[in-house]
Amino acid sequence: MRYIKGIDRHQSILLPDTVDQYVDENNPVRFIEVFVNGLDLKTLGFTKAITKETGRKPYNPSDMLKLYIYGYLNKIRSSRDLEKATYRNIEVIWLMRKLRPDFKTIADFRKDNSKALKGVFRQFTLFCKSMDLFGCELIAIDGSKFSAVNHNGRNYTKAKLNKILKAINKEIDDYLHQLERQDKKESDIQQPNEVQLQQKIDDLKQRLMKFQQLQQQIDASGDSQISLTDSDSRMMKTNKGNDVSYNVEIATDDKHKLIADFDVTNAINDRNQFSNMAIKAKDVLDVPSLEATGDAGFHNETEVAICEQNQITCYIPKPKVKSTEGKDQLYSKADFSYDSDADCYICPANKKLNYSRQTNWKKRKIQKIYLCADCKNCPLRPKCMGDKRGNRTIHRGINEHLIEEMEQRVKENPYYVEKRKELVEHPFGTIKHWMDQGYFLTRGFDKVTGEMSLTMLCYNIKRVLNIFDVKELINMLKRWSIDHSFLFQLIYLCSKLLNLIKIKQINNSKSLTNFFFDKSAPFFTQSGSRGMAC
Ligand code: SF4
């Protein structure tokens, strides 16, 4: 038969002389190598970045970081799979120079360096910014749910617990009744049945106690639910129904769809997340003002007001209201027009609703109340108030004018809202489907943030590798590392000096002049060089 044949396994072949010859010039692992080598891991706070004089030598955090970046770029996230890759993947062998840490060491690195990993993401963002890859004019913000390491069955809401407790109590009652009935008909009863029933009642009481404790924990936390495996995760609505997840928010820049910043939260929806993300992105991009767009889920008067205070112009469309066509509906707020000059509303009967008083709804939202003085004999009253007594009122948020201005902006510039989809849904689609990273492998805020830092870093690396070839990027990176390293060290030293001055002022035990030259101060290691203890 005519087929393409493989080689004879026993035939001697001439392999390349060095491992380096297996990795071509444009292989992304070469970029990973240069990028990580250019980072100041001590300053970023990586564990084992400073080695001890004695004891067993640790793996260099630089090598471990390279392994993780390679893994996240290539859908290899689990520590066991990464360990296997160090044995059989030629790119990893090249990157790790044949180092083969075991899976526990690999897992511990991610667990112990979650905060430092966010710093690495930030460093790459700064590099991209210095290469003018961020437009710094328009960002799009969105949130998406990422599954947590917590089975849905191990999450309890108040309602779910009440239901369970009710069912257990009912079951106990049923068994007690059965027991009572059997006591009355003693002659017909066999002893084991009674013992079995009592055993069932005892078991149920144990379960009851367990769930009552959970209920007490929820009440004490002031939250509405509790997750038993990953206590920071929450039950959230997702596209596939309810799932215990984290809500990851991102801010994507308009120019190359690069992620400027991200945040991992356990907020069950996006309503209060817009200003937080927009301000973070503005700080990272270091611009005096910014335009930000998001979907209707972010429509929130308070959030828009905070953005305005921070020179961020928002473009968020109004949420769609369910159609009430054909239904016997009363006049809604939309049927009343606001007169900003006179600060009053005009009703469908052309009467004024003047400002009456102010209210603070649940201590969260201050609202002004406008009251009509003459509803008693109005012919439109049945359509306006139904069976209600008194006069019609309209509530208006103290920052509602900002929402009205924003709605006008959105109307005049539909481009921003259309652009949003293209900008911010693309990264989530790529991360979840192409990179297969729609779920976490670790637990707790710190660790999942570290994990997400790697995901976001690799997403940005992927995008940048689409713009430049590896060789070009490496040259840019080398130039940036030299300039940036000096600046970074300078900023680091200044911040540490300021901290020490503050500590010094609090302690006030030595003079400031003595302090700078005191070798026992935490700023100096024994040899007089900079140490992480500070
Ligand atoms: S009931 Fe009052 S508020 Fe409503 S239309 Fe009549 S006058 Fe205006």
For 291-321, write each residue's pLDDT tens digit. 999 999 999 999 999 999 999 999 999 888 7
Confidence bin at 519 (pLDDT 50/70/90): very low
How many residues are recorded in the chain?
534
pLDDT exceeding 90 applies to what percent of the chain?
Answer: 60
pLDDT exceeding 70 applies to what percent of the chain?
Answer: 87
Predicted pLDDT at 367: 87
pLDDT, one tens digit per residue, over 395-445 is 998 889 999 999 999 999 988 888 888 898 889 999 999 999 999 999 999
Confidence bin at 523 (pLDDT 50/70/90): very low
Give the neighbor-by-neighbor strand order of the sheet with 365-372.
337-339, 344-346, 352-361, 365-372, 393-397
Alpha helices in 131-268 (DSSP H): 158-184, 191-221
Given a contact cutoff of 8 angstroms between Cβ atoms, the answer to whether 452 and 121 are in contact is no
Predicted pLDDT at 322: 66
Nearest alpha carbon to residue 390 among 356, 366, 339: 356
344 lines ligand 1 (CB under 6 A): no
Six-digit token pair at 459? 């997403």
For residue 392, CA distances in Å to 23, 138, 343, 365, 395 come to 76, 42, 16, 21, 10
The predicted model scores a pTM of 0.82
Tell how far the Cα of 348 is from the centroid of ligand 1, in angstroms.
7
**Beta-strand runs (E) in 286-401:** 290-294, 312-315, 337-339, 344-346, 352-361, 365-372, 393-397
Averaged pLDDT score across all residues of the chain? 86
From 332, 347, 371, 395, mutation site for ligand 1 pocket: most ligand atoms within 8 A of C-beta = 347
Confidence bin at 386 (pLDDT 50/70/90): confident
Res. 530: pLDDT tops 50: no
Predicted pLDDT at 123: 93
- 481 contacts: CB under 8 Å, gap ≥ 6: 34, 38
Given a contact cutoff of 8 angstroms between Cβ atoms, the answer to whether 155 and 226 are in contact is yes
Alpha helices in 58-157 (DSSP H): 61-73, 79-88, 90-96, 103-112, 114-130
Q: Is 307 exposed, middle or buried (0-12, 13-18, 19+ CB in 10 A)?
A: buried
- 442 contacts: CB under 8 Å, gap ≥ 6: 110, 111, 149, 448, 450, 451
Given a contact cutoff of 8 angstroms between Cβ atoms, the answer to whether 200 and 175 are in contact is yes
Structure-model confidence comparison of residues 221 and 13, the more confident one: 221
Tell how far the Cα of 349 is from the centroid of ligand 1, in angstroms.
6
Report DSSP letters for 490-513, one per residue: HHHHHHHHHHHHHHHHHH--S-HH
Predicted pLDDT at 3: 84
What is the C-alpha separation between 142 and 2, in angstroms, rounded?
Answer: 55
Res. 253: pLDDT tops 90: yes
Which protein residue has the closest C-alpha to ligand 1 atom 4? Answer: 384
Nearest alpha carbon to residue 61 among 106, 6, 10: 106
* Position in ligand 1 atom list of the atom nearest CA 384: 4
* Position in ligand 1 atom list of the atom nearest CA 349: 5
Given a contact cutoff of 8 angstroms between Cβ atoms, the answer to whether 370 and 396 are in contact is yes
Given a contact cutoff of 8 angstroms between Cβ atoms, the answer to whether 40 and 488 are in contact is yes
Residue 278 host element (H or E): helix 274-285
133 lines ligand 1 (CB under 6 A): no
Given a contact cutoff of 8 angstroms between Cβ atoms, the answer to whether 450 and 442 are in contact is yes
